[in-house]
Amino acid sequence: MSDRGLGVRVVHEGRIAVIGLGAAGLSACLAAAELGWSVIGFDRSTIGGEAAASAGRSKIIRFGYTDPFYAELMRDTRPRWERLERDTGSLLINLCGMLHFGVGGATGTDAVIESLERSGQDCEILAAAQTSGRTGLHLRTGEIGVYERNAGMMTPASVFQALSARASALGVTLHENTAVSAIDDAGACVTVMTSNGPVIVDRVIIAAGGQFGRFAPAAASQLTVTRQYQIVCGSPELVASGHSCSWMDVTADDWYGMVNAGSGIHIMGVHEPATVVDPDQPIDDAELRQSVEVQLEYLRERLALNSRQLTLHEVRTCHYTNTASKDFVIDRLPGGSTVLLSACSGHGFKFTITSGYLAAQLACTDAPPVPRFQLSAVSSKA
Protein backbone atom coordinates (compact mmCIF):
# COMPACT_ATOMS: atom_id res chain seq x y z
CA MET A 1 0.00 0.00 0.00
CA SER A 2 1.36 3.43 -0.88
CA ASP A 3 0.17 6.95 -0.21
CA ARG A 4 0.13 9.25 -3.24
CA GLY A 5 -0.68 12.36 -1.27
CA LEU A 6 -4.40 12.02 -2.00
CA GLY A 7 -5.45 11.22 1.55
CA VAL A 8 -6.25 7.63 0.51
CA ARG A 9 -4.29 4.41 0.04
CA VAL A 10 -3.56 2.97 -3.37
CA VAL A 11 -5.10 -0.51 -3.28
CA HIS A 12 -2.26 -2.01 -5.32
CA GLU A 13 -0.54 -0.96 -8.47
CA GLY A 14 -1.95 -3.27 -11.12
CA ARG A 15 -3.53 -3.07 -14.54
CA ILE A 16 -6.71 -1.19 -15.29
CA ALA A 17 -8.87 -1.00 -18.43
CA VAL A 18 -10.99 2.00 -19.32
CA ILE A 19 -13.86 1.37 -21.72
CA GLY A 20 -14.85 4.47 -23.65
CA LEU A 21 -12.36 7.20 -24.54
CA GLY A 22 -14.48 10.30 -24.46
CA ALA A 23 -13.32 13.18 -22.29
CA ALA A 24 -14.34 11.38 -19.08
CA GLY A 25 -12.68 8.11 -20.06
CA LEU A 26 -9.45 9.81 -21.12
CA SER A 27 -9.41 11.75 -17.87
CA ALA A 28 -9.81 8.49 -15.95
CA CYS A 29 -6.90 7.00 -17.93
CA LEU A 30 -4.72 9.97 -17.03
CA ALA A 31 -5.65 9.92 -13.33
CA ALA A 32 -5.10 6.15 -13.01
CA ALA A 33 -1.68 6.48 -14.65
CA GLU A 34 -0.77 9.23 -12.20
CA LEU A 35 -1.65 6.79 -9.41
CA GLY A 36 0.99 4.43 -10.76
CA TRP A 37 -1.28 1.92 -12.51
CA SER A 38 -0.72 0.37 -15.93
CA VAL A 39 -3.61 1.67 -18.03
CA ILE A 40 -5.14 0.43 -21.26
CA GLY A 41 -8.07 2.21 -22.89
CA PHE A 42 -10.54 1.07 -25.54
CA ASP A 43 -12.97 2.88 -27.77
CA ARG A 44 -15.14 1.32 -30.44
CA SER A 45 -14.65 4.41 -32.63
CA THR A 46 -11.98 7.08 -32.98
CA ILE A 47 -11.13 9.42 -30.12
CA GLY A 48 -13.25 12.54 -30.47
CA GLY A 49 -15.24 11.00 -33.31
CA GLU A 50 -18.82 11.83 -34.21
CA ALA A 51 -20.18 9.11 -31.93
CA ALA A 52 -18.73 10.63 -28.77
CA ALA A 53 -21.20 12.56 -26.60
CA SER A 54 -18.33 14.75 -25.47
CA ALA A 55 -17.33 15.70 -29.03
CA GLY A 56 -18.67 18.66 -30.96
CA ARG A 57 -17.61 22.15 -31.98
CA SER A 58 -17.70 23.87 -28.58
CA LYS A 59 -18.69 23.34 -24.93
CA ILE A 60 -19.49 25.80 -22.16
CA ILE A 61 -17.46 26.07 -18.97
CA ARG A 62 -18.92 28.07 -16.07
CA PHE A 63 -19.34 28.49 -12.34
CA GLY A 64 -22.89 29.83 -12.59
CA TYR A 65 -25.41 27.15 -11.63
CA THR A 66 -28.78 27.24 -9.93
CA ASP A 67 -27.33 24.38 -7.86
CA PRO A 68 -24.38 25.55 -5.70
CA PHE A 69 -22.99 22.00 -5.53
CA TYR A 70 -21.72 22.28 -9.11
CA ALA A 71 -20.35 25.78 -8.60
CA GLU A 72 -18.24 24.34 -5.77
CA LEU A 73 -17.22 21.37 -7.91
CA MET A 74 -15.94 23.79 -10.55
CA ARG A 75 -13.60 25.28 -7.95
CA ASP A 76 -11.85 21.89 -7.86
CA THR A 77 -12.12 21.40 -11.61
CA ARG A 78 -10.67 24.58 -13.08
CA PRO A 79 -7.21 24.07 -11.51
CA ARG A 80 -7.07 20.60 -13.09
CA TRP A 81 -7.76 22.01 -16.56
CA GLU A 82 -5.17 24.72 -15.97
CA ARG A 83 -2.62 22.09 -14.94
CA LEU A 84 -3.34 20.12 -18.13
CA GLU A 85 -2.84 23.31 -20.14
CA ARG A 86 0.57 23.81 -18.52
CA ASP A 87 1.58 20.16 -18.91
CA THR A 88 0.72 20.06 -22.61
CA GLY A 89 1.22 23.67 -23.70
CA SER A 90 -2.40 23.75 -24.84
CA LEU A 91 -5.06 26.45 -24.74
CA LEU A 92 -8.20 24.65 -23.60
CA ILE A 93 -10.40 27.42 -22.20
CA ASN A 94 -11.45 30.62 -23.95
CA LEU A 95 -12.56 32.92 -21.13
CA CYS A 96 -14.94 34.97 -23.25
CA GLY A 97 -17.60 35.41 -20.55
CA MET A 98 -21.13 34.10 -20.26
CA LEU A 99 -24.62 35.55 -19.97
CA HIS A 100 -27.17 33.79 -17.77
CA PHE A 101 -30.65 35.19 -18.28
CA GLY A 102 -34.22 34.56 -17.20
CA VAL A 103 -36.55 35.42 -14.37
CA GLY A 104 -35.41 35.81 -10.77
CA GLY A 105 -36.28 33.57 -7.88
CA ALA A 106 -34.84 30.63 -6.00
CA THR A 107 -34.56 28.51 -9.16
CA GLY A 108 -33.79 31.39 -11.53
CA THR A 109 -31.16 34.10 -11.85
CA ASP A 110 -31.15 34.74 -8.09
CA ALA A 111 -29.82 31.21 -7.59
CA VAL A 112 -27.13 31.76 -10.22
CA ILE A 113 -26.01 34.97 -8.52
CA GLU A 114 -25.88 33.19 -5.17
CA SER A 115 -23.80 30.30 -6.51
CA LEU A 116 -21.37 32.72 -8.18
CA GLU A 117 -20.96 34.76 -5.01
CA ARG A 118 -20.48 31.64 -2.87
CA SER A 119 -17.76 30.38 -5.19
CA GLY A 120 -16.01 33.76 -5.17
CA GLN A 121 -16.78 34.63 -8.79
CA ASP A 122 -17.34 38.09 -10.15
CA CYS A 123 -20.67 38.76 -11.87
CA GLU A 124 -22.54 41.78 -13.18
CA ILE A 125 -26.27 42.41 -13.45
CA LEU A 126 -27.06 43.78 -16.92
CA ALA A 127 -30.06 45.68 -18.20
CA ALA A 128 -31.66 44.63 -21.47
CA ALA A 129 -29.91 47.36 -23.47
CA GLN A 130 -26.54 46.31 -22.07
CA THR A 131 -26.99 42.62 -22.95
CA SER A 132 -27.88 43.30 -26.58
CA GLY A 133 -24.98 45.72 -27.05
CA ARG A 134 -22.37 43.54 -25.36
CA THR A 135 -23.48 40.02 -26.28
CA GLY A 136 -25.97 40.36 -29.11
CA LEU A 137 -28.61 38.58 -27.02
CA HIS A 138 -31.98 40.26 -26.53
CA LEU A 139 -33.85 39.80 -23.25
CA ARG A 140 -37.61 39.50 -22.96
CA THR A 141 -39.72 41.70 -20.72
CA GLY A 142 -39.14 40.84 -17.08
CA GLU A 143 -35.91 38.92 -17.66
CA ILE A 144 -32.64 39.62 -15.84
CA GLY A 145 -29.16 39.24 -17.29
CA VAL A 146 -26.26 37.98 -15.16
CA TYR A 147 -22.85 38.28 -16.81
CA GLU A 148 -20.19 35.85 -15.54
CA ARG A 149 -16.74 37.04 -16.53
CA ASN A 150 -14.75 33.95 -15.54
CA ALA A 151 -16.66 31.64 -17.89
CA GLY A 152 -16.41 30.75 -21.54
CA MET A 153 -15.96 27.96 -24.05
CA MET A 154 -13.89 24.83 -24.48
CA THR A 155 -13.03 23.19 -27.80
CA PRO A 156 -13.49 19.41 -27.46
CA ALA A 157 -10.94 18.59 -30.16
CA SER A 158 -8.23 20.44 -28.20
CA VAL A 159 -9.29 18.71 -24.98
CA PHE A 160 -9.13 15.26 -26.60
CA GLN A 161 -5.70 16.00 -28.02
CA ALA A 162 -4.33 17.29 -24.70
CA LEU A 163 -5.74 14.42 -22.63
CA SER A 164 -4.52 11.81 -25.13
CA ALA A 165 -1.06 13.34 -25.33
CA ARG A 166 -0.63 13.60 -21.57
CA ALA A 167 -1.97 10.10 -20.93
CA SER A 168 0.30 8.62 -23.62
CA ALA A 169 3.27 10.46 -22.12
CA LEU A 170 2.54 8.65 -18.85
CA GLY A 171 2.51 5.27 -20.57
CA VAL A 172 -1.22 4.78 -21.18
CA THR A 173 -2.01 2.56 -24.17
CA LEU A 174 -5.02 3.81 -26.13
CA HIS A 175 -6.82 1.51 -28.57
CA GLU A 176 -9.17 3.23 -31.00
CA ASN A 177 -11.62 1.32 -33.23
CA THR A 178 -11.53 -1.58 -30.79
CA ALA A 179 -14.93 -2.74 -29.64
CA VAL A 180 -15.51 -4.31 -26.24
CA SER A 181 -18.23 -6.96 -26.26
CA ALA A 182 -18.27 -8.16 -22.64
CA ILE A 183 -16.71 -7.86 -19.21
CA ASP A 184 -16.29 -10.85 -16.90
CA ASP A 185 -15.44 -9.74 -13.37
CA ALA A 186 -16.57 -12.87 -11.56
CA GLY A 187 -13.06 -14.07 -10.75
CA ALA A 188 -10.00 -12.66 -9.03
CA CYS A 189 -9.16 -10.76 -12.22
CA VAL A 190 -11.34 -9.12 -14.84
CA THR A 191 -11.52 -10.35 -18.43
CA VAL A 192 -12.35 -7.71 -21.02
CA MET A 193 -13.44 -9.24 -24.32
CA THR A 194 -12.33 -7.01 -27.19
CA SER A 195 -12.46 -7.30 -30.98
CA ASN A 196 -8.73 -8.08 -30.80
CA GLY A 197 -9.13 -10.80 -28.18
CA PRO A 198 -9.39 -11.04 -24.37
CA VAL A 199 -7.48 -8.71 -22.06
CA ILE A 200 -6.87 -9.56 -18.40
CA VAL A 201 -6.84 -6.68 -15.92
CA ASP A 202 -7.36 -6.04 -12.21
CA ARG A 203 -9.87 -3.20 -12.46
CA VAL A 204 -12.24 -1.72 -15.05
CA ILE A 205 -13.77 1.72 -15.47
CA ILE A 206 -16.83 1.82 -17.71
CA ALA A 207 -17.04 5.25 -19.35
CA ALA A 208 -18.93 4.14 -22.43
CA GLY A 209 -21.55 6.89 -22.54
CA GLY A 210 -24.82 5.74 -24.05
CA GLN A 211 -23.42 2.21 -24.41
CA PHE A 212 -23.10 1.70 -20.64
CA GLY A 213 -26.10 -0.65 -20.53
CA ARG A 214 -24.19 -3.26 -22.54
CA PHE A 215 -21.66 -3.63 -19.73
CA ALA A 216 -23.63 -2.69 -16.61
CA PRO A 217 -27.18 -4.01 -17.19
CA ALA A 218 -27.98 -3.84 -13.46
CA ALA A 219 -27.55 -0.07 -13.59
CA ALA A 220 -29.48 0.39 -16.82
CA SER A 221 -32.79 0.94 -15.04
CA GLN A 222 -31.33 3.89 -13.14
CA LEU A 223 -30.02 5.77 -16.16
CA THR A 224 -31.62 6.74 -19.44
CA VAL A 225 -30.13 7.63 -22.80
CA THR A 226 -31.34 10.79 -24.51
CA ARG A 227 -30.78 11.92 -28.06
CA GLN A 228 -30.05 15.64 -28.37
CA TYR A 229 -29.56 17.98 -31.30
CA GLN A 230 -27.21 20.95 -31.45
CA ILE A 231 -27.45 23.43 -34.31
CA VAL A 232 -24.64 25.46 -35.83
CA CYS A 233 -25.81 28.60 -37.61
CA GLY A 234 -24.18 31.42 -39.53
CA SER A 235 -24.79 35.12 -39.97
CA PRO A 236 -23.20 37.34 -42.62
CA GLU A 237 -21.51 39.42 -39.95
CA LEU A 238 -20.48 39.14 -36.32
CA VAL A 239 -23.26 40.25 -33.99
CA ALA A 240 -23.00 43.01 -31.38
CA SER A 241 -19.38 43.77 -30.46
CA GLY A 242 -18.09 40.71 -32.28
CA HIS A 243 -16.81 39.15 -29.06
CA SER A 244 -17.60 35.53 -28.27
CA CYS A 245 -20.03 34.83 -25.46
CA SER A 246 -21.60 31.70 -24.00
CA TRP A 247 -25.19 31.87 -22.76
CA MET A 248 -27.76 29.92 -20.77
CA ASP A 249 -31.51 30.48 -20.55
CA VAL A 250 -31.92 29.83 -16.82
CA THR A 251 -35.71 29.77 -17.00
CA ALA A 252 -35.71 27.13 -19.74
CA ASP A 253 -32.88 25.41 -17.82
CA ASP A 254 -31.54 23.30 -20.66
CA TRP A 255 -31.38 25.89 -23.48
CA TYR A 256 -27.85 27.08 -24.13
CA GLY A 257 -25.54 28.38 -26.81
CA MET A 258 -22.58 30.44 -27.92
CA VAL A 259 -22.59 33.70 -29.86
CA ASN A 260 -19.70 34.42 -32.24
CA ALA A 261 -18.21 30.99 -31.61
CA GLY A 262 -16.36 31.48 -34.89
CA SER A 263 -16.45 33.94 -37.74
CA GLY A 264 -20.20 34.60 -37.90
CA ILE A 265 -20.91 31.24 -36.25
CA HIS A 266 -23.53 30.80 -33.53
CA ILE A 267 -24.34 27.56 -31.72
CA MET A 268 -27.42 26.46 -29.83
CA GLY A 269 -28.54 23.27 -28.17
CA VAL A 270 -31.50 22.01 -26.18
CA HIS A 271 -31.27 19.10 -23.77
CA GLU A 272 -34.67 17.67 -24.58
CA PRO A 273 -36.24 14.86 -22.54
CA ALA A 274 -36.67 12.46 -25.47
CA THR A 275 -35.49 8.99 -24.45
CA VAL A 276 -34.11 6.28 -26.70
CA VAL A 277 -33.46 2.66 -25.80
CA ASP A 278 -30.41 2.19 -28.02
CA PRO A 279 -28.16 4.98 -29.36
CA ASP A 280 -27.67 2.91 -32.53
CA GLN A 281 -31.32 3.08 -33.49
CA PRO A 282 -32.14 5.35 -36.48
CA ILE A 283 -32.83 9.04 -35.97
CA ASP A 284 -36.47 10.06 -36.03
CA ASP A 285 -36.55 12.58 -38.89
CA ALA A 286 -39.73 14.27 -37.63
CA GLU A 287 -38.22 14.69 -34.15
CA LEU A 288 -35.05 16.11 -35.68
CA ARG A 289 -36.90 18.63 -37.87
CA GLN A 290 -39.08 19.79 -34.99
CA SER A 291 -36.09 20.32 -32.68
CA VAL A 292 -34.16 22.23 -35.34
CA GLU A 293 -37.09 24.50 -36.18
CA VAL A 294 -37.76 25.29 -32.52
CA GLN A 295 -34.12 26.16 -31.96
CA LEU A 296 -33.86 28.29 -35.10
CA GLU A 297 -36.95 30.26 -34.16
CA TYR A 298 -35.65 30.83 -30.65
CA LEU A 299 -32.16 31.85 -31.79
CA ARG A 300 -33.51 34.28 -34.40
CA GLU A 301 -35.56 35.96 -31.69
CA ARG A 302 -32.66 36.18 -29.21
CA LEU A 303 -30.24 37.54 -31.81
CA ALA A 304 -32.87 39.69 -33.55
CA LEU A 305 -32.01 38.14 -36.91
CA ASN A 306 -34.41 37.05 -39.65
CA SER A 307 -34.24 33.88 -41.74
CA ARG A 308 -31.97 35.53 -44.31
CA GLN A 309 -29.57 36.74 -41.67
CA LEU A 310 -29.36 33.46 -39.73
CA THR A 311 -28.95 30.27 -41.72
CA LEU A 312 -28.48 26.67 -40.62
CA HIS A 313 -25.03 25.26 -41.33
CA GLU A 314 -24.93 21.98 -39.44
CA VAL A 315 -26.85 19.77 -37.02
CA ARG A 316 -24.99 17.57 -34.56
CA THR A 317 -26.63 14.59 -32.89
CA CYS A 318 -25.41 13.63 -29.40
CA HIS A 319 -26.39 10.93 -26.94
CA TYR A 320 -26.21 11.62 -23.23
CA THR A 321 -26.81 9.37 -20.28
CA ASN A 322 -29.07 10.98 -17.70
CA THR A 323 -30.24 10.34 -14.18
CA ALA A 324 -33.40 11.37 -12.38
CA SER A 325 -31.37 13.86 -10.33
CA LYS A 326 -29.30 15.12 -13.30
CA ASP A 327 -26.21 14.22 -11.30
CA PHE A 328 -23.24 12.23 -12.54
CA VAL A 329 -22.73 8.56 -11.71
CA ILE A 330 -19.32 7.64 -10.29
CA ASP A 331 -19.72 4.47 -8.25
CA ARG A 332 -18.34 1.00 -7.69
CA LEU A 333 -20.50 -1.82 -8.96
CA PRO A 334 -21.09 -4.92 -6.81
CA GLY A 335 -17.85 -6.85 -6.43
CA GLY A 336 -15.69 -3.74 -6.29
CA SER A 337 -13.52 -4.35 -9.35
CA THR A 338 -15.67 -2.33 -11.77
CA VAL A 339 -16.44 1.40 -11.58
CA LEU A 340 -19.22 3.08 -13.57
CA LEU A 341 -18.37 6.58 -14.77
CA SER A 342 -21.14 8.54 -16.45
CA ALA A 343 -20.79 12.32 -16.82
CA CYS A 344 -24.55 12.59 -17.11
CA SER A 345 -26.81 15.32 -18.40
CA GLY A 346 -25.34 17.62 -21.03
CA HIS A 347 -23.45 19.73 -18.49
CA GLY A 348 -20.93 16.98 -17.77
CA PHE A 349 -18.15 17.85 -20.24
CA LYS A 350 -16.67 20.73 -18.26
CA PHE A 351 -16.25 18.46 -15.22
CA THR A 352 -14.78 15.41 -16.96
CA ILE A 353 -11.23 16.01 -15.73
CA THR A 354 -12.64 15.80 -12.19
CA SER A 355 -15.15 12.98 -12.78
CA GLY A 356 -12.38 10.91 -14.37
CA TYR A 357 -10.16 11.61 -11.37
CA LEU A 358 -12.91 10.52 -8.96
CA ALA A 359 -13.51 7.33 -10.95
CA ALA A 360 -9.79 6.49 -10.89
CA GLN A 361 -9.73 7.02 -7.13
CA LEU A 362 -12.57 4.53 -6.69
CA ALA A 363 -10.90 1.97 -8.95
CA CYS A 364 -7.32 2.35 -7.70
CA THR A 365 -7.65 3.34 -4.04
CA ASP A 366 -9.82 2.77 -1.00
CA ALA A 367 -11.44 6.22 -1.37
CA PRO A 368 -15.17 6.33 -0.62
CA PRO A 369 -17.54 7.47 -3.39
CA VAL A 370 -19.00 10.97 -3.40
CA PRO A 371 -22.47 10.31 -1.89
CA ARG A 372 -24.26 12.44 -4.46
CA PHE A 373 -22.74 10.44 -7.33
CA GLN A 374 -23.71 7.00 -6.03
CA LEU A 375 -26.24 4.98 -8.00
CA SER A 376 -28.55 4.78 -5.01
CA ALA A 377 -28.63 8.60 -4.76
CA VAL A 378 -29.16 9.53 -8.41
CA SER A 379 -32.05 7.10 -8.87
CA SER A 380 -33.98 8.18 -5.79
CA LYS A 381 -33.88 11.94 -6.36
CA ALA A 382 -36.34 13.04 -9.02
pLDDT digits (tens, 9 = 90+) for 308-364: 899 999 998 887 888 888 899 999 999 889 999 998 766 899 999 999 999 999 999
pLDDT in tens, 260-302: 998 889 999 987 767 777 778 888 899 899 999 999 999 999 9
Q: What is the CATH number of the domain that holds 302?
A: 3.30.9.10
pLDDT tens-digit profile of 223-243? 888 888 899 999 988 888 889
| pLDDT over 60 (residue 3) | no
Is residue 20 located within the same domain as residue 141? Answer: no
Q: What is the mean pLDDT of residues 23-45?
A: 96
How many domains are there within the chain? 2
Residues 306 and 333 in one domain: no
Q: Residue 353: inside a domain, yes or no?
A: yes
pLDDT value at position 48? Answer: 80
Same domain, 280 and 310: yes
Are 127 and 230 part of one and the same domain?
yes
246, 146: one domain? yes
Q: What is the pLDDT of residue 379?
A: 67
Q: What is the pTM of this model?
A: 0.92
Q: pLDDT at position 64, please? A: 94
**pLDDT at res. 54:** 65
Residue 132 lies in a domain: yes
- Name the average pLDDT for the chain: 89
Residues 144-201 have pLDDT tens digits of 999 999 999 999 999 999 999 999 999 999 999 999 999 999 888 999 999 999 999 9
* 125-151: average pLDDT: 93
Q: Check whether residue 250 and residue 145 sit in a common domain.
A: yes
* pLDDT reported for residue 51: 58
Give the per-residue pLDDT at 316.
87
Whether 80 is in a domain gets the answer no
- Same domain? For 252 and 162 the reply is no
More confident call, 105 vs 94: 94
Residue 71 resides in a domain: no
The pLDDT of residue 237 = 84
Predicted local confidence at residue 225, as pLDDT: 84
Cα 262 from chain centroid?
21
Range of the domain at 168: 2-54+157-220+325-378
User: pLDDT by residue (tens digit) across 52-85?
Assistant: 666 677 899 999 998 889 999 999 999 999 999 9
- The whole-number pLDDT of residue 201 equals 97
Question: Are 135 and 254 in a shared domain?
Answer: yes
